[in-house]
Structures are given as C-alpha cells and as structure tokens.
Amino acid sequence: MSRLDKFINRMTSQRACLNHAANLTSDMPGPVYELGLGNGRTYHHMVEIMPGREVYVFERAVASHPESTPPDEMLMLGDVYETLPQALERFGPTASLIHADLGGHNPKKNDEFARSISKVIEPMLAKGGLMVASDRMYFEGLTEQPLPEGAVEGSCFIYG
Amino acid sequence: MSRLDKFINRMTSQRACLNHAANLTSDMPGPVYELGLGNGRTYHHMVEIMPGREVYVFERAVASHPESTPPDEMLMLGDVYETLPQALERFGPTASLIHADLGGHNPKKNDEFARSISKVIEPMLAKGGLMVASDRMYFEGLTEQPLPEGAVEGSCFIYG
C-alpha cells in the first residue's frame, strides 16, 4: 500500500466519519469544534454538512485557502492548551461534535500529543456529543464507536 | 460539493488514471517522469505500481517526506523549463509515462502554465506513451483519452 493509498483512505474515512457524526448529532444545540485548520478543506466540508450549526476553529496561525478561512469571531487563535480551556469556560461542556486531524508525520509524537490533548478535550463534549479523530485518542469516559460504511478501520476514530 | 469532496475526487482520480496508464504502458522500455514531487505521495505510488521501471522526478527543491524522497540519480533538480529539455537531449523522445499535478490554487495561473509547459512536454513522450495530468493540457499531436473506472471527469486527464 503506497503513501497515496493511505492518504486517500485517511481522507475518505475522515469524510465518512464526519458525515456520520454530523448526522447523529444533528439535533444537538451545542457548538462544533475543529482543532487545527491547515488548508481548510475539512473546515469547508464541516460548514457545508452542518448548516445552521456554529463551527469554531482552534488554530495557532491561519494559513488556509481564502475560500476556507473562518470569520474572525469563529476563530480561537493560539495554543490549544490555552484556547480549549478558555472555550470550556465560555461555553461549558456543550460541544456536539469535535474533530481533530493531528496529522503529523511522526507517529510517536502524534501519539504523545493525542494522549495529552485527550484530557483537555474530554470535558468539553456535551452528553451525547461525538469526537472524530484521525488518530487514536485516550479518553477515560468516552468509548470507541463503530465506523460508518466507507471508513477504513484505523484511518479514523469516533468516540462518544 | 465541498473543497474536501473536490480534493478526494482529485486524489482518487489521479490514482485511477496512473494505475490505468501504468498498465497500458507496462511493456514500454522508456523512463517515467514525475513533474513536481511535493510531499512525495504520488511519486511513492508510481514507484510501487511500476516496479522495474525508472521514475525520474523533476523538482525545483526537494521538500518531500523521507519515505518518498527519490535517490539523487533519479532527481532532476531545477527549473522544468531547463531540466525537461536537458532530459530530452539525454534520453530522446522515449518517455513511456509522464505525470504532472500542477495543483496550484489559482486556476488562471495553472492554465497559463499548462499551456506553456505542454509545448515542452509533448516532444518527450515516446510513440504509444501516455501523459497523466491533473489539469487540462494543450498538445498539438496528442489527444485526450477516455478515463478509467473510478476517475471523475474533469478531475484528471490522460493524453496519448
């Protein structure tokens, strides 16, 4: 399996999991969080599949495509270890859907980051809310959910 | 259709077209050219699906993933307007497969580049060779070929 194959699996699985999680949480009133903006393709997709839902983006510095740049008021600029607790204080444990594609090239570093950020993310999710991640996360009270059709095992994870 | 949808279409179409073109040219002895390396995922795929065939990469500066970095002797470093004519002088019109993902964010600039680089690429291809491109190209003697199953019209092009 080539790196192109793995990448296509990751992107198609991410889309399938986001579509599935957006559908399952569609009646929930709380905000949606996108951790990391990058090029902005996934943010663009999230806004499109969740009309009427507020999508906040947590990012250190914006470097996205002009068509995928969030409005200022939806942007939480800074280190996620600071901005996530600030959002918890502001919104409480109300998030209906949280997505993160940590996506670094170093699997060991990714895993270390997933372990430490899991503790910060877990209290933000509303009861019934879902977390979609491209890497395995380490939650105490959330459990791994079955993947939808079209998602490849190990390429994406859903917790709830 | 979101930018994520379009991107997934482009990547899956690129893979389908490369697999198809690699298969159709599998008996040809000439080299394979990858124009632009980027992250190196597509180069990694090309090497995997064409074992025993020489894959040369034309790139201004290497910034690829370590797993997808070509050996020095397969790398044509520099401006393609200089390195492509040099390769034509060295190998003659022998290329069995040429791939290019120009992939810029500005469609107008991409199209201008496609127009001017088409003239440089066309004489490099062997008789029976194929060009796979993510953008429409402008060849005098080559014609657009039908796309294989799994490729989305307009997301990839095959010329031969």
Task: Say which residues have a Cβ less than 8 Å from residue B20's Cβ, sequence separation at least 6.
Answer: B147, B148, B151, B158
Residues of A in CB contact (< 8 Å) with B are 2-5, 7-8, 11-12, 14-15, 40-42, 44-45, 48-49, 65, 67-68, 105
| pLDDT at B102 exceeding the cut of 90 | no
ipTM of this complex prediction, to 2 decimal places: 0.93
| pLDDT at A32 exceeding the cut of 90 | yes
A44 and B8: CB-CB below 8 Å?
no
% of chain A beyond a pLDDT of 70: 99
The first and second tokens of residue A91, run together, are: 């919104």
Between A4, A45, A48, which is nearest B41 by CB? A4
pLDDT average, residue stretch A124-147: 97
Instruction: State the pLDDT at residue B55.
Output: 98
B11 and A4: CB-CB below 8 Å?
yes
B3 and A49: CB-CB below 8 Å?
no
d(CA A83, CA A75): 10
Q: Indicate which CATH number applies to the domain containing B86.
A: 3.40.50.150
Task: Band the pLDDT of A38: cuts 50, 70, 90.
Answer: confident
Instruction: State the pLDDT at residue A135.
Output: 92
Task: Band the pLDDT of B103: cuts 50, 70, 90.
Answer: low
A132: part of which helix (H) or strand (E)? strand A125-133
The first and second tokens of residue A88, run together, are: 């918890």
Residues of B in CB contact (< 8 Å) with A are 2-5, 7-8, 11-12, 14-15, 40-42, 44-45, 48-49, 65, 67-68, 105
Q: What is the pTM of this model?
A: 0.91
Instruction: State the pLDDT at residue B57.
Output: 96
A11 and B11: CB-CB below 8 Å?
yes
| pLDDT at A137 exceeding the cut of 90 | yes
B42 and A11: CB-CB below 8 Å?
no
Q: Which amino acid is at A133?
A: A
Instruction: State the pLDDT at residue A48.
Output: 97
What's the DSSP call for residue B26?
A: T
CB A29: neighbour CB atoms within 10 A?
Answer: 9
The first and second tokens of residue A43, run together, are: 């943010």
Q: What is the pLDDT of residues B119-134, one digit of tens each?
A: 999 999 999 999 999 9
Instruction: State the pLDDT at residue A128.
Output: 97
pLDDT average, residue stretch A85-98: 98
d(CA A61, CA A38): 9
Number of domains in chain A: 1
The domain in which residue A8 lies consists of 3-159
Q: Which amino acid is at B54?
A: E
| pLDDT at A105 exceeding the cut of 80 | no
Q: What is the pLDDT of residues B48-96, one digit of tens each?
A: 999 999 999 999 988 888 888 899 999 999 999 999 999 999 999 999 9
